[in-house]
Structure formats: structure tokens, C-alpha cells
Chain A
Amino acid sequence: MIHGVGVDLVHLARFDRFARDHGRRLSDLFSPDERAAFRSRRALAGAWAMKEATLKAIGGLSGWDVNWREIGIRPGAVRLTGAVARHAKSLGVSRLDVSTATMKDAIVATVVATGP
């Protein structure tokens, strides 16, 4: 059954400004593996959109409280760890399907959370 659907739109200019101003803090949000997999700013903005969409699809957690690195993004896939994984499991979420749509100045990510 579908547990939740999360959609997030990231404006590339906004993400670029954040990355420019807080470049050293990107490691708070992305693991070394993610930085290696999403090398360009556009790709990293897409990974951020996927993290946000995942949080919305699972539900129940706020972006202020979450450890963003526990929402691990690989190209086309999401892997949860830590408290986020425990929360998702407690809600019965066992699968996350991701898709993205890229525009000139923005990226939209959609995540569907499903479970038995």
C-alpha cells in the first residue's frame, strides 16, 4: 500500500547560493559517497530535492530535527539509516521509489513510500 508521496522542488539558484555560502557545511548534509556520486551543483541539488521529498513521503519528521545524512541518496535510489530508518520502519515503510524531473532552473523530486 502507498504510505505517502513526497514532492520537492529545488531552485538551482537557491541551492547554489547555499552551497557557495556554506560550502564547508555541505558535509552536514551529504556523505562523502554522495558528494562523489553527485559531483556537479545541479546533481547535488537533485540529491537534496530527493532527501526533502523522502522526508515528506515518510512523514512525521521535520527537517529541523532530522540528520540529513541518514537519508542517503544514490543515483535513482534512497537508503535510510539511523533514526530516520527506525522511524520509517515503525510506520511500515519498506520501499521508497524515486524520480526526478529536471528543468533549466529547478529540479523536482518525487518519492513514493510504500509498505505491506
Chain B
Amino acid sequence: MSNALTVPAATSPEVFEKVRGCFVEALGVEPEEVTLKAKVIDDLGAESLDFLDIAYRLEQGFKIKIPRGDIKQKSQEGLGAEAWEKDGLLTEKALTKIREVMPEVDPASVKTGMRAKDIPKLFTVETFYNMVVKLQADKAALPK
């Protein structure tokens, strides 16, 4: 079973526009800069406080709770601490798991020499979009 944080569905324009609005408000960027493939740090210039700002706006807008550290946790599943990180660097097994957990990210950008603290540098707008769609689906699946 894949543990990817994505839902195999076509992009919802309504959801995407709302996600885009959160990025625009949080970062003060132009709407056209907020594409699914835009990297949150490198392309949109986000810092730690901006990540929190984006997450809080998405949580409020979609009435969801975005779990922090979820991608790191999922990429650690089934790997011991030593198999995940060695001498401060992510192992090849860890990089493979990250590629699996974040299929929206260009696999070539998940490369040898990465550290755990670099994982947010991989985040794209699509990463957040996928989180929203997944969490909405989880919420809808809950018994009423």
C-alpha cells in the first residue's frame, strides 16, 4: 500500500483557487506566481513563519488540521533511526521513501547529501494542495 500523501484525483479548480488565495495572503505574492509546481521556499520565498501562516490559513479555510512533521514521519516508517539518517545526512533508503511520500516533487531534487532539515525545501504548492485534498477526504470518510 502506498503511503503517499496524495489522493489520485484530478486537480479541483475550486480547491486550488482557495489554496492559491491562502498563499497570496500569507506571502504577498501575485496569484500567477502560485502554480502547483512552484517551490514554496525557492520560488515563493517562504520562511518558517510563512509556512505557519500558510498552514493556519489552510486550516481555517478548509476546517482541517494539518499535521506538522507528517511527511518526515511517513518517510521514517519502517526505517530505524540509523537507516534513515547517518552522520546528519539522509540515507539512500530515506531518499527513496521521501520520493514515495512526495510524488509531486521532482525525484531528481531528492538527492544525496540532503539533511532532514532540508525536506521543507522540497515543498511545492502541490504538496499543500495534496495535504488539503487528503485531509478533506479523510474528514468526509468519518462517520457522521
Contact = CB atoms under 8 A, between A and B. Distances in A.
A60 B114 CA distance: 10
A48 to B, nearest CB: 7
A63 B48 contact: yes
Contacts of A22: 52-53, 56
Given A22-B56, A25-B56, A64 B49 contact: no
B116 A60 contact: yes
Interface in B112-139: 115-120, 123
Interface residues of A, number: 20
A18 B52 contact: yes
B116 A62 contact: yes
Contacts of B62: none
A38 to B, nearest CB: 16
Interface of B: 47-49, 51-53, 56-57, 68-69, 72, 88, 115-120, 123
Interface of A: 10, 14-15, 18, 21-22, 25, 28-29, 48, 52, 55, 59-65, 67
9 nearest interchain CB pairs?
Answer: A63-B48, A65-B69, A62-B117, A64-B120, A22-B56, A62-B120, A65-B72, A25-B56, A64-B51
